[in-house]
Amino acid sequence: MTPLLQVADLSKLFVARRDVIGRPTATVKAVDGVSFDLAAGETLALVGESGCGKSTVGRLLLRLIEPSGGAIRFDGQDVLSTGNSGARRLRRDVQLIFQDPYASLNPRMTVGDILGEPLLLHDVVPPDRRRERVAELLTTVGLRPDYHRRYPHEFSGGQRQRIAIARALAVEPKLIVCDEPVSALDVSIRAQVLNLLRDLQQRLGLAYLFISHDLAVVKHIATRVAVMYLGRIVEMGDAGQVFAEPRHPYTRALLSAIPVPAPGARQDRRILQGDVPSPIAPPPGCHLHTRCPHAVDRCRVERPPLDLGDGHGVACHLWRQLPPAGEALPRELAPNPTLEKLQAAFVRRTEEVI
């Protein structure tokens, strides 16, 4: 079956500096040869530290910005070569939920107008059914139908994110790009919104591209995971496989930073040395070589391809020779017992509510 979304060799270059007459003197390759597929009803999580290019991928898919290279096919159609009618259809089929529910809703519009606007723009239902459809949407996301008269400031953060989800659902999309949708919410509210997204997926067959820096959250919602570092995907596979047997040193470092929800449990932290390099001048070869404890000369000159042979891909020259994921590495940083206790309590609470 053809995947709902096919992304091939996608790249995006931003101009970082210009000279006095406006010519570019420095560029940032925010997205560098990213390829993935997404099936209907599936959740692919794009994860990585901030600045790795994951949100840029989401914006490229919606054509909010134009790519510098590569191809995007949605539902069998070449997204980048479609005219106005194709772009209009794409904007109906692919919706975006932002991180900040406070900023993403117009404070001067009532909830009824916020949800009614996309119904009007895309002519989803006849005018005499709009009020009824707004009430249905509010009920679908767990809000009272009579909230349509209220303004965004009258709601809590979680309720506003539910309104943002209802707005995305208004046009009956096939794919929702969720850009850090729960990062700005409290832990208990976060779990409720994640559960709502999962329920909606089961009921409506939605596909999600779930963009997040938080692997603990991703673990609860993703079917597949793609890990990004400095604009490239370094590991991709089924969520269960990636979490149980991470192959790339960067994924292992990210996973080892998730606190274990058991007081006193020992954790082998795999701390990467140094800071994330500047995206204006990323290191040649494997971008991680300046921080990777396993780097060899080859890593400094040759870019490792993402080999998807068995469906669990990894972009590392040495992944077959690395010690198994569970094996302890030398501790570069002694754990702080007080901090670990607090983190464990935090994670336990998250898991209880999820």
Please enumerate in sequence order all residues whose Cβ is within 8 A of that of 281, keeping only pairs 6 or more positions apart, or say none. none
Instruction: Give the length of the chain.
Output: 354
Q: Identify which of residues 151 and 319 has a Cβ nearer to ligand SF4 in the complex.
A: 319
Q: How far is the CB of 232 from ligand SF4 (least distance, A)?
A: 11
Residue 59 lies near ligand SF4 (rule: CB under 6 A): no
**How far is residue 202 from each of residues 40, 43, 108, 221, measured CA to CA in Å?**
11, 11, 33, 12
CB of 233 to ligand SF4, least distance (A): 13
32 SS3 class = strand
Is 317 a residue that touches ligand SF4 (CB under 6 A)?
yes
* 8/318 with CB nearer ligand SF4: 318
Please count the CA atoms within 13 angstroms of the CA of 176 that sit on its side-chain side.
Answer: 24
Choose the stretch contacting ligand SF4; rule: CB under 6 A; options: 26-34, 257-265, 314-322, 324-332.
314-322
Distance CA 51, CA 33 (A): 16
C-beta of 294 vs 312, nearer to ligand SF4: 294
Q: Binding string to ligand SF4 for residues 197 to 236, with x set by CB under 6 A, is what?
A: ----------------------------------------
Which string of DSSP letters, residue by residue, matches 57-87?
Answer: HHHHHTTSS--SEEEEEETTEEGGG--HHHH
Q: Copy the structure tokens of residue 132.
A: 């009824």
Nearer to ligand SF4, 175 or 292 (CB): 292
Q: What are phi and psi of 172, to 5 degrees?
A: 55, 60
Nearer to ligand SF4, 169 or 242 (CB): 242
Smallest gap from residue 318 Cβ to ligand SF4 (A): 4
Q: What mask of x and - would describe binding to ligand SF4 in positions 271 to 310, judged by CB under 6 A? A: ---------------x-xx--x-xx---x----x------
Which residue in 39, 216, 271, 318 binds ligand SF4 (CB under 6 A)? 318
Q: Which of 118, 249, 279, 282 touches ligand SF4 by CB under 6 A?
A: 249
- Token readout for 219 is 């673990």
In the bound state with ligand SF4, the residue whose beta carbon lies nearer, of 58 and 249, is 249
Least separation, in Å, of the C-beta of 149 and ligand SF4? 55
Q: What is the DSSP string of 1-17?
A: ---SEEEEEEEEEEEEE
Of 101 and 304, which CB lies nearer to ligand SF4 in the complex structure? 304
Minimum CB–partner distance for residue 321 and ligand SF4 (Å):
9
Q: How many whole angstroms separate alpha carbon 150 and alpha carbon 65? A: 33
CB of 248 to ligand SF4, least distance (A): 6
Least separation in angstroms between residue 245's CB and ligand SF4 is: 16
Give the range of 124-132, 259-267, 273-281, 312-320 binding ligand SF4 by CB under 6 A.
Answer: 312-320
Q: Does residue 316 touch ligand SF4 according to CB under 6 A?
A: yes
Distance of CA 66 to the CA centre of its chain: 19
Which residues, including other chains, have CB under 8 Å from residue 243's CB and lie 6 or more apart? Answer: 215, 219, 225, 255
The closest of 310, 308, 281, 285 to 295, measured between CA atoms, is 285
- List, in sequence order, the alpha helices (H) in the chain: 54-61, 84-93, 111-121, 130-140, 157-169, 187-204, 215-218, 239-244, 249-256, 297-301, 337-353
Binding site for ligand SF4 (CB under 6 A): 249, 286, 288-289, 292, 294-295, 299, 304, 316-318
